[in-house]
Structure 1
Amino acid sequence: MSKPVVLEDVTGGSAKATHLCVLVHGLWGNPSHMRNVAKALRDEYPEDELYILPAEKNRGNFTYDGIELGGERVCAEIEDKLRSIEEQGGKITKLSIAGYSLGGLVSRYAVGLLYAKGILDDLECMNFTTFASPHLGVRTPLKGWHNTVWNVLGARTLSMSGRQLFTIDKFRDTNRPLLAVLADPDSIFMSGLKKFKRRTLYTNIANDRSVVHYTSAITKHDPYTDLENINLNYLKGYEGVILDPDHPIALRPKLQQDTLMTDYEALKKWVKSIPFMVTVGVLIPIGVVVFLANSAVQTVRSANRIKAHESGEAGLKIEQYRMPLRIKEIREEVEQAYEVLNSSQNQQYLAASDSEDDLAYDAEDRKLLKKVRRMSTPGQPTLALTPDQFDMIENLDAAGWRKFPVHIQKHRHSHAAIVVRMDKESFADGWVVLKHFAGNEFLM
């Protein structure tokens, strides 16, 4: 195994560099989680060409404070770095951003602020990339009381970030979830996102218990729930890891199986799972108690940080980052910016006809759900998402994304492996992803 990468050895750059790439880590994360992303970029581009900035100010428990505060912190870091480089005689003319997990959403918020402040006007926006980011939130597609209990419980464990990720928040005076506002076609956030020449996402198709495929891929379908029923078509040169984005799968013909043999295979599969079930039965209750206790403490601490941030006591002049959210408002102003919890629930699909769940929505949302149901087929069923999530998919897809499904096979913790968060030999599949990103997708 090669020597672990040291973040400081692969970040930064020289005064000659004209391209700034910002790396934003995820929930509970820290800048070192992005060190191998930085390493992959540095292997391709020297310090005289590319300046690499790992976002520092939204680390650890600070990620509990919400996407909005995280975005403001990252925006401030980018502004500070642009200013610092210029003071040292350099000049940045190009900008790229790569966000991992929650960092993808924080990055989208920061981009909106940069757009509203006019900073992107002086920069050539090159690459906006996300790795396993929950663009549609982390709500498990469930119906009925399962939805109410499971998704509301999850939302209560992560302070402001939890409410935003489970889309039960009301963002400022919009009366809408923050993620819905982030995907509003008239918002500063979508306008900023569209300025980038290339928008790319990498999405795990299996074993990502933090951010499941539908949300990181921005889709209402998940054809990868049973890999035994499909053939995977891999991208040439990246076989075994990255799927061909144009033709990722082919359905396998259904074979007539012997009923006795099928029952035997099911029994064998169940027996093999016994050690796992025993482990889960013992450890999960303990882990959940510890997790919820820690969440309660961190929620209180986060609330105090948010209060200090809003009052200006945290050292950031927030009035500089509280931009009008819609382009029309900006023009007017110018003229007169769970892991463990998720994994235990299976995704559900929309019913073929209206259900009692629809009564929770207004007439316009019920009309949207009816339209989505008509497009759902047995071969490609539609997940039981919310009207807000269906709108997000339509709006985000309209911006245009290059979507790469990723099949991490050497380790079951694909969420960490996709960016090689830890230096393990079993995370080797993640290096394939990072080399594709740096060598094939990244525009200089």
Structure 2
Amino acid sequence: MVTYLFRRLWGNPSHMKYVASALRERYSEERIHILVAKRNSGNFTYDGIELGGERVTHEIEETLEELARNGHEIRKISVIGYSMGGLVARYVIGLLYSKGWFDKLEPVNFTTFATPHLGARNPLLGFYSHIRNLIGARTLSMSGRQLFTIDSFRDTGRPILSVLADPDSIFIRGLRRFKNKSLYANVINDRTAVYYTTGISRTDPYRNIADLKINYVKGYDPVIINPDDPISPPGNPEELPTFYYRIADRSQTVVKNILIYSVLVLLIPIGTIVFLINSVVQSIRSSRRIRLHEEGKAGVGIGSYRIQPIVGNIQSIVEGVFDDLNRSQDSEYLPAGMEEHGDHLTSSSETIGAPSSRPPPRTCSLGSEVKPNILQETRQLPQHRQLEFPTLPLSPHQLAMIQTLDSVGFRKYPVYIHKARHSHAAIIVRKPRKNFDEGKVVMRHWLDNEFEI
């Protein structure tokens, strides 16, 4: 088997070092060949999902040809993506599928860690969210426009993330071919890629996590949350030790936050100026690289990769509801507490542990039943464990993405990193730091339960 590892925005090969070493510790070189994609590293990740995907597909094809020349018989393929690397990986899967590689190699495992499948847009209403989305979309070159869904992919008139999740696209057809599909999503402290997008969810049950009782997977606690029974209301409030512990814990957090914010008041203005200057420079360089790539002067023959991304009718699940996201901020989100059902909007909320009142599952154009998000499923549990969460004000195309990606059959694992404030880095143990050790539990669970050779 050959296994490919994809990295984040601004990522470099060292970020996937622990993931690669964990794989190697389990499997010898005779059983698995590991490739950490290198051609989309550092500032090259500014260039967008399409260009990055074409670069990496070229790298994969060169590697497969080299392995064949050296007498290695490769029969299976697995793809692992981290952060934005998971989106590039999904693009690569579509290209490999369209070029017939999955008729030669059996697609086995596809896993993402902290990947923003629904984009990086802040779904909440208000001035802060508006400014964050405005700046983020315009300071990261093509990748920023794509992550914040203000781009238009080729002649589709739709954001690339929407096309990646079109049920008739080569990307979804290729993804369906993988035997095992899983994702791991941080529930708190991931400011790079928040839970709703990494967990492909209409709700965020963990926003007030201190007020909930978390149920873990046995043997992987207190890190991997049980996806079948993730949360329940807190225990008896008369349990004084727990109450006093929480008060003490929150007091310590307040003191830490005061110190941190005092430092940030001094550093943020300087850091913002440096970031904006660097963004302008990198955007200019990225534009040049994209132009050279399009002209075929960047070492990658793009002709073989510019395949029609949509197979059959160019239809989406919610045809007609993809508004022009550049036109007005007001049209970017559904009203809070409203959810798209068919061709109309209805007030809704998501309940964990209550009988289902949702309409029967719809089917996508490929005829596959659309399964609900695992954290949005309703389960018959004792009355005291029923919890209800409002639907986030997502855009119509994000709701369409959720519907299609859920139909693919991801197994979703919420991850609760306690010891690191930077859970985005900790989930894959990006550096050998003690407070990142909980990420090793994530890797162990993945290899024990989701990675098959």
What is the DSSP-based 3-state SS (H/G/I as helix, E as strand, rest coil) of the residue aligned with 1:201? strand
1:201 and 1:395, CA in 2 relative to 1: closer, same or farther beyond 3 A? same
CA contact (8 A) 1:368 1:387 kept: no
Distance apart, 1:148 and its partner CA: 3.6
Q: Which residue of 2 aligns with 1:326?
A: 310
Q: Which residue of 1 aligns with 2:57?
A: 75
Does residue 432 of the first structure (1) align with residue 414 of the second (2)?
no
1:145 and 1:86, CA in 2 relative to 1: closer, same or farther beyond 3 A? same
Supply the AA of the counterpart residue of 1:374.
S
Distance apart, 1:270 and its partner CA: 4.9
1:52 and 1:380, CA in 2 relative to 1: closer, same or farther beyond 3 A? same
1:428 and 1:361, CA in 2 relative to 1: closer, same or farther beyond 3 A? closer
Provide, for residues 149-176 of structure 1, a one-character-per-residue CA deviation record: whole Å limited to 9, x for no partner.
Answer: 3212111110000000001111111111
Cα distance in 2 for partners of 1:282, 1:438 equals 43
Count of residue correspondences: 396
Q: Which residue of 2 aligns with 1:174?
A: 156
Q: Which residue of 1 aligns with 2:202?
A: 220
1:152 and 1:358, CA in 2 relative to 1: closer, same or farther beyond 3 A? closer
Does residue 211 of the first structure (1) align with residue 190 of the second (2)?
no
What is the DSSP-based 3-state SS (H/G/I as helix, E as strand, rest coil) of the residue aligned with 1:48? coil
CA contact (8 A) 1:220 1:385 kept: yes
Q: Which moved more, 1:293-302 or 1:372-381?
A: 372-381
260, 271, 288: which one pairs with 2:272?
A: 288
1:229 and 1:93, CA in 2 relative to 1: closer, same or farther beyond 3 A? same
Q: Which residues of 2 match residues 287-326 of structure 1 at below 5 A?
A: 287-326=271-310
Q: Which residue of 2 aligns with 1:396?
A: 405
What is the DSSP-based 3-state SS (H/G/I as helix, E as strand, rest coil) of the residue aligned with 2:272? helix
Cα distance in 1 for partners of 2:421, 2:150 equals 30
Distance apart, 1:265 and its partner CA: 10
1:200 and 1:95, CA in 2 relative to 1: closer, same or farther beyond 3 A? same
Supply the AA of the counterpart residue of 1:395.
T
Distance apart, 1:435 and its partner CA: 1.6
Does residue 84 of the first structure (1) align with residue 58 of the second (2)?
no
What is the DSSP-based 3-state SS (H/G/I as helix, E as strand, rest coil) of the residue aligned with 2:79? strand
Cα distance in 2 for partners of 1:417, 1:160 equals 27
Distance apart, 1:288 and its partner CA: 1.3
Distance apart, 1:143 and its partner CA: 2.1
Supply the AA of the counterpart residue of 2:162.
A
Provide, for residues 252-277 of structure 1, a one-character-per-residue CA deviation record: whole Å limited to 9, x for no partner.
Answer: 26959xxxx99999998655532122
409, 412, 430: which one pairs with 2:421?
A: 412
Distance apart, 1:412 and its partner CA: 1.1
Q: Which residue of 2 aligns with 1:56?
A: 38
CA contact (8 A) 1:97 1:127 kept: yes
1:419 and 1:313, CA in 2 relative to 1: closer, same or farther beyond 3 A? same
Does residue 422 of the first structure (1) align with residue 435 of the second (2)?
no
Does residue 382 of the first structure (1) align with residue 391 of the second (2)?
yes
Cα distance in 2 for partners of 1:383, 1:228 equals 20
Distance apart, 1:74 and its partner CA: 1.2
What is the DSSP-based 3-state SS (H/G/I as helix, E as strand, rest coil) of the residue aligned with 1:327? coil
142, 147, 156: which one pairs with 2:138?
A: 156
Q: CA RMSD in A?
A: 2.7
CA contact (8 A) 2:116 2:197 kept: yes
The answer to which structure has the higher helix fraction is: 1
Distance apart, 1:382 and its partner CA: 1.0
Q: Which residue of 1 aligns with 2:261?
A: 277
1:357 and 1:292, CA in 2 relative to 1: closer, same or farther beyond 3 A? closer
**Identity of counterpart residues, as a percentage?**
51
Supply the AA of the counterpart residue of 1:373.
S
Cα distance in 2 for partners of 1:164, 1:126 equals 28
Provide, for residues 119-161 of structure 1, a one-character-per-residue CA deviation record: whole Å limited to 9, x for no partner.
Answer: 1111111000000000000111122554443212111110000
